[in-house]
Structure formats: C-alpha cells, structure tokens
A and B are shown apart, each in its own frame.
Chain A
Amino acid sequence: MELDEFKDILNQQLATDHLYRSEADIAALLRKKAHSIIVKIKKSLWFEIFSCIVIMLLFGYLGLSSKYSSMNIYFSAFTLVFVPFTIILFYLLKKINRLNTNSLSVKNNLQSIVSILEEFMKRYFQFTMVLIPICFVFAFFLGYTEKQPIEPIDQIILKYKPSYSFITIFTFVYMTSLTVGIYYFTKWYLKKLYGNYVNELKIYINELKETE
C-alpha cells in the first residue's frame, strides 16, 4: 500500500474534529494559560528569584543582627552567594523572554529549548554544589574559631564528652554522606524535572541529524 494512494482521504480524515471552534471559542481560548515547557521554566525562575530575595533579606538581617561573629560571617557569606545566583536567574529569565522559538524551524526550535533547559539545569546544579562547602566546611570552621561560647554546643560537649577522634570521624562521615546525598539527590531531581524531557528532545534532534 502506498501513502500517495491515500493522500486525499487521509487529508480529509485528519482535518476533522469533534468540535468546531467559532470565533467566540477561539477568543475564549486566548484568555487561557499556556502550559509549554518555556512557561514552566519561567514560573520556576520567578519562584526561585522570589525565594532568593526572601533568603537574602532574611540572611542579611541574621548576618547583621546575630551576637555571634561566626553567625555574622556565615549568614553574610550566604547572602553574598545568593546575589550572583539571583543575577544569573534574572539573566536566564531575560533570555527566555526574548526567545520566540515557535516561529523557528522544528530543528532550531528543539535546539533552542534544549540549550535553555541545559543551561538552567547546569546553573541550578552548580549553585547547589557551591552551597555545600559553605554549609559544612565554612560552618565547622566558623564554629571552631568562634570567640563567644555557643551554649547549646557547649552543653552537648559537656554532657557526652566526645573524644577528639570521635568528633573528627563523625564530622567526616556526616559531611561526606551529606555531600554525596545532596549531589545524587540534585542530579535525580533535575533529571526528573527536566532531564527526561531534554533526553526526549535530543532524540528528535539526533533523528533530524541522522540523514545529514
């Protein structure tokens, strides 16, 4: 059976639908919300920008108001790390807003979406990984060098009297397992969120490159 034999019939069949949309129906559709991946990323970016601003304000306040010098440095450092990340998020949002991929060819559209998604995932991953040394190494170092006594920690030390080797091993195991856990969790989360979709789009791009 040849495809050409069925051109007219298939065209006729495909051009039918269970609904006929009037002008009023189309006008009503224009008031609805789009659900494309670009819209989804924009929503994510706005949510992350909002969260970053809230965190910067909160951590900035804690950094300035805490009585412990370690806390001042710790929260101020966090606030500073969030500044470039917020700028990167704004840059990505601007880039996406300028993007009008639907008028591009199918191949270029796929490549643009994949490139945006990969950049978003890369930045997200980098940022999460950057937070690990700040969270753990910096926190332990600051806690260790704090001049003011930190009562809750002092109470634990007085109660359990842990040996120096126990503290070293515990710290090492705790930091390693959390780092490895966060690394794999972030990888898994990003794959679940966008990774599988990106892989699907890459298959289509490769399919288009196959004959080149």
Chain B
Amino acid sequence: MSVEIEFIGLLKEHQKIIYKVCNLYMQSHADKDDLFQEITLQAWKAYANFRGDSKFSTWLYRVALNTAITFYRKEKKNIVFNVETVPELSENIIDHVEEKTKAMYSAIGELSKIDKAIVMLYLEDYTYTQISEIIGITPNNIAVKMNRIKIKLKEQTKKYYTTH
C-alpha cells in the first residue's frame, strides 16, 4: 500500500507530463481522458521496475510516450488537429503571439507520432543525448531529425497563414 501512495504522490506531482502527452496526441477531451487513464495504468504496472536510475520525470516521459505511440483503438479515428481545441493561453499573452502560437501548435499537430515525441522532449529542454536514450536512436540521428522537424514546422506554419 505504501508503494501505491508513493506512486500516486509522484504521479500527482508530475501529472503535467501526462497532460502534455495527451494534448499532443489526442484532440477531444474524451480521448485525452482515455489516454490519461491508460498512461496512468501503464506507469503503475511498470513502476515496480523503476529503480531510480533516471529521474522519475524522464521515466514517466518514456512510459507516457510509449503508451501514446502504441495506443490501440478499435475504431480508427483520424486525428486532425484543429486550432479551435488548442488549450487557452493566459490573458496576458497578446493576440498576435497567440495567433503565432496557434500556427505552431497546429504545425506540431501535423507531425508524425515519432516527430511529436522528439519535439516534446526538445521543448522540455532535454539534451540530444537524453532524447536519444528515450527514443532509442543515436544523438546524431536525433540532431538530424530535429533539423528536419524544424524545417517541416516552418513550412507548416507558412501554410497555416495562407489558409487562415
């Protein structure tokens, strides 16, 4: 029981990591809730093997991303990112910044599941070496992928402005 309490405490403290993964991989509230539940359960099942070699947050990112990427759904839903469902920004962020952020958010939504995982860890300021450990490819390959992703995002945000 004490392990469960310890796990719940850690998960509560780090639940924003799961929010990030859910926001990036799912669109509707219902889907996000489903994924949140699945990540929580998978993390709980894997917690017995968590030996503290890495930080809990890094370990949770790994479990959350693995769960999101392999999330199995019976009905195949095509997830299209809609900027209307972008989480609200705080009021002090001025309009044009909000618009640009929406464009970037929408562009990230168009990326593949693997690219989304890399972007998320990059936004979290993980080094290429740390990202490579979570993703399972070399730091050099992460650097190459990250450059390609940045180019893709630039092109996608341009497209966003031509269509909005």
Task: State the A residues within 8 Å of B (CB).
Answer: 1-3, 5-7, 9-23, 26-27, 29-30, 32-37, 40, 100-110, 113, 197, 201, 204, 207-208, 211-212
Contact = CB atoms under 8 A, between A and B. Distances in A.
B19 A29 contact: no
B28 to A, nearest CB: 10
A32 B89 contact: no
A13 B87 contact: yes
Nearest to A37: B72
A26 to B, nearest CB: 5
A15 B70 contact: no
Contacts of B67: 36, 102
B12 A109 contact: no
B72 A102 contact: no
A102 B63 contact: yes
A110 B145 contact: no
A54 to B, nearest CB: 26
B134 to A, nearest CB: 6
B38 A2 contact: no
Contacts of B100: 1, 5-6
A211 B15 contact: no
A106 B134 contact: yes
A206 to B, nearest CB: 10
Contact of A40 (B63, B72, B101): B72
Please indicate which of the listed interface residues A108, A201, A208 has the most CB atoms of chain B within 10 Å of its own CB.
A208
Contact of A23 (B12, B32, B38, B50): B12
Interface in B28-64: 29, 32-34, 36-38, 40-46, 49-50, 59, 62-63
B134 A105 contact: yes
Contacts of B16: 15
Given A12-B90, A103-B63, A106-B117, A35 B38 contact: yes
Contacts of A9: 89, 93, 97, 101
Contacts of B19: 14-17
A90 B37 CA distance: 29
A13 B40 CA distance: 21
A11 B69 contact: no
B138 to A, nearest CB: 8
Contacts of B40: 26, 29-30
Nearest to A21: B15
Contact of A208 (B59, B90, B124, B135): B135
B79 interface: no
Given A14-B23, A109-B70, A207-B114, 16 more contacts: A1-B100, A3-B123, A5-B100, A13-B101, A14-B120, A17-B19, A17-B22, A19-B33, A21-B12, A30-B41, A30-B44, A103-B59, A103-B63, A105-B134, A107-B137, A211-B145
18 contacts: A1-B100, A2-B150, A10-B104, A11-B124, A13-B86, A17-B32, A17-B87, A21-B36, A34-B41, A102-B42, A102-B62, A102-B63, A103-B59, A106-B135, A197-B72, A204-B112, A208-B114, A211-B144
